[in-house]
Chain A
């Protein structure tokens, strides 16, 4: 069973019909413009959070609005309002078109054509926000009891369950008419462990989520391994030693360490930076930027993934884009504006946090294809270095190419064997050459558990990453031990 199609939602709820919307866009075309579009959004989010053994509060938020965008050459005018009506749209259009100075002969927007991708990557029977809150409360209470029974050193458990359901509709002056209905769920578990003598406290975090039924999170076989991991990391770190400092061989575990690709490569390949020539990757299509065997993909079409979309926030169907093929730079991530200005095709990567933001070229799910090396053998191949398996956030300076990502579970490798756990440390490298120093690629590609959020220009969007086990020579590790 699936839900009713997304495209009638705004017409039924706000009385904005297709012909009326085309006439609003005509208002934009009274000036000399290249393109104009409307973006409607109605989002419901709820969350319950537990600490000290009880769910202290519940949240529920409804956010609705519409944005009118006008493009003329490289200029964009944008006006948004939380009032969804044809009248407020006409006012917003008059504001947005002010960036186009010259009047035109006037034009008529193409009448909307049912568009979109014709697929549903995330069918659910009902909105996750409609699942009774009592069931979410019950889940968190079970998690608390389970975590405390796992290990007597567990001193504090914080857990939250977040659900979202987002209706979007894009109507463009070229006839684009694409609706999407996007569920998103997430479960977060954070555990504070305390050493028996009370001298050390450490935190462990695990989360999971995606665009799927909330039921999946409620199943013990889903959340118990998650809690086990949070407890394991928190207690492990009670014994962590100071991390070494300096340049050394680093082995990255599979999955979430794919954040390396997101920071080192992904942002630098976004169309806006490359159109402006501000990225360390600008003008380098066709050049070798990674070791042979390295292939990096951005794919917005993976079913039920957190970073996936049926259509992007400009109505373009998402797709699989090869960024690096066998070490050679092949493609950029494009939204409509930058694709047009660069004479390229949009890649379905035009994304925005909400109706209150302009779209930007953004990643979806970014990962490296598997190689053929045995992961255990990769660790054994290292004489001296570190093995990092879990990471917090990262960041990049796309112009200099310098990027960081922070390990929160790592081990020393000595003589091919894993040693003591290490305290968290930031790793820093240079995007355009870090992948040239990849010497081993495991056969164990894994995607993350669905917790990634990417920030750019103050806008947050959900993303995914993935990586096989990887050996990289000479990465700078920001520990404290000389």
Chain B
């Protein structure tokens, strides 16, 4: 579909929703072109190519006590299907309850001509990515991983993916905007084998521009060395020690924190941070920022899921909680203003999500933090979902490296780490300098003064 036809489809959906009785409406059309290839050893495992588009529509119907609303989506974009969708959406909205907080933002929409081009969302020269070139990237990562050491003799494969997306969003308040973005990635997951035991690990690179990816051979080498260093892993006795997280595992703590800062969790009181705005919730070493306009960021976009301009929000300032993440609905529930953090996919109602969320790096390298740790655990992988946002209680499976006398002593596995996120945030006593962007949430290494490690 062309950009003009997409804008027409969004306009048509809005007009039809109004004609069917909606007092307000918004619509989002997302179109994507993607390819994905996996190579294992020197053989292609799979190649997948796709073109998809989905139209999402929200209709709001005014009642005495507030708006009734419904959200629908379809990937049949024929005029007849869009007309039918509009009627169904309004009918569905009429079946729901009146909600005084429901509605579009009151105003303050982004400049409609901001198509995000200045934000580095895609490189024009990457417009026609060839499948063959991406297969070669995967081959090169795979070959580099296997060349590192004879103990790397197998793998789950190396996977390269490229995607271009176009998003058009419009609402009945008159906003209509669109932007294009791209993302490219390369992921390598080798297996190391020794004495009959196997270990896997991975490394990856992801960026909005192909030329910003780490070289494939480097991805392969790093993945292989991560898998190799896990060979011979053992358990450790149950104990309380300082726990370090590397840049692959530390972001999960920030994602959990972000979930607890969502306006929805706050008004529902399903976050342990409810009622703590303005208070010291974390170590003074922590500075947490969410910025929807970070150039080239994986979560960057010119406007959010409700058409409001994206912006930089400081969430935690030297350990003090200074902002929630809000869209217009959760903001109204809390008597606050939106932070431009509405997330919206074609198939869902607006919600809240971080854009580019990170922990500001400190001065020390991870090596220096390890050297400063007499005895402890460096976590390099976490498994399971053992986190309760209502209480902050935290318990997850882990694998990593044991630290003894300021040095890496041996790999460990089949252990858990447990604590409480509130306490863990206060107990951060070192933040590394090694911030690296592998997803929309990033963190440098960090150390928590003490957690319970359960093992043998």
Chain A residues proximal to chain B, CB less than 8 Å: 48, 51, 54-65, 73-82, 95-96, 98-99, 133-134, 137, 155-156, 158, 192, 200-203, 243, 245-247, 276-278, 280, 356, 358, 392-397, 399-400, 402-406, 408, 423-430, 476-482
Q: Is B270 an interface residue (CB 8 A)?
A: yes
Complex Cα–Cα for A14 and B360 (A): 54
Q: Chain A contact residues: over half helix, strand or loop, or mixed?
A: strand
- Residues of chain B lying within 8 A (CB to CB) of residue A405: 384
Q: Is B174 an interface residue (CB 8 A)?
A: no
- A192-B269 contact given A80-B50, A276-B154, CB 8 Å threshold: yes
- A74-B452 contact given A59-B72, A399-B199, A476-B416, CB 8 Å threshold: no
- Nearest to B73 among chain A residues (CB) is A61
Q: A77-B47, A201-B270 are in contact. List 8 more A-B contacts (CB 8 A).
A: A65-B75, A201-B391, A246-B238, A277-B154, A404-B397, A424-B393, A476-B455, A476-B456
A119: min CB distance to chain B, Å: 31
- Nearest to B84 among chain A residues (CB) is A62
Instruction: Sort A-B residue pairs by CB-CB distance and give the 8 closest, nearest first.
Output: A478-B416, A404-B397, A404-B384, A54-B97, A426-B386, A245-B454, A246-B238, A82-B75
Q: Is B198 an interface residue (CB 8 A)?
A: yes
B67: min CB distance to chain A, Å: 9
A357: min CB distance to chain B, Å: 8
Instruction: Select one of A58, A156, A246 contacting B93, CB under 8 A.
Output: A58
- Residues of chain A lying within 8 A (CB to CB) of residue B44: 75, 99
A203: min CB distance to chain B, Å: 5
- Residues of chain B lying within 8 A (CB to CB) of residue A203: 270, 388, 390
Chain B residues proximal to chain A, CB less than 8 Å: 40, 43-54, 69-76, 85, 88-89, 92-93, 95-99, 102, 131, 154-156, 191, 197-200, 230, 233, 235, 238-240, 268-270, 347-349, 381, 383-386, 388, 390-391, 393, 395-397, 399, 413-420, 452-456
- Nearest to B97 among chain A residues (CB) is A54
**B198–A479 CB distance below 8 A:** no
**B386–A406 CB distance below 8 A:** yes
- Residues of chain B lying within 8 A (CB to CB) of residue A399: 191, 198-200
Please name 21 pairs of A and B residues whose Cβ atoms are closer than 8 Å in the assembled complex, sorted by A.
A56-B69, A57-B349, A61-B72, A62-B85, A76-B45, A76-B46, A77-B46, A133-B92, A134-B95, A137-B97, A202-B391, A245-B238, A246-B454, A276-B154, A399-B200, A400-B230, A406-B395, A426-B418, A427-B416, A428-B414, A479-B454
**A393–B385 CB distance below 8 A:** yes
**A394–B384 CB distance below 8 A:** yes
Of the candidates A137, A356, A400, A424, the one having the most CB atoms from chain B within 10 angstroms of its own CB is A400
Instruction: Select one of B52, B200, B240 contacting A397, CB under 8 A.
Output: B200
**B384–A133 CB distance below 8 A:** no
Q: Chain B contact residues: over half helix, strand or loop, or mixed?
A: strand
Of the candidates A276, A396, A403, A404, the one having the most CB atoms from chain B within 10 angstroms of its own CB is A404
- Nearest to A72 among chain B residues (CB) is B44
- Residues of chain A lying within 8 A (CB to CB) of residue B385: 392-393, 395, 406
Complex Cα–Cα for A280 and B193 (A): 11
Instruction: Select one of B48, B391, B419, B420 contacting A358, CB under 8 A.
Output: B48
- Residues of chain B lying within 8 A (CB to CB) of residue A200: 391
**B74–A480 CB distance below 8 A:** no
- Nearest to A46 among chain B residues (CB) is B92
A394: min CB distance to chain B, Å: 6
- Residues of chain A lying within 8 A (CB to CB) of residue B455: 246-247, 476
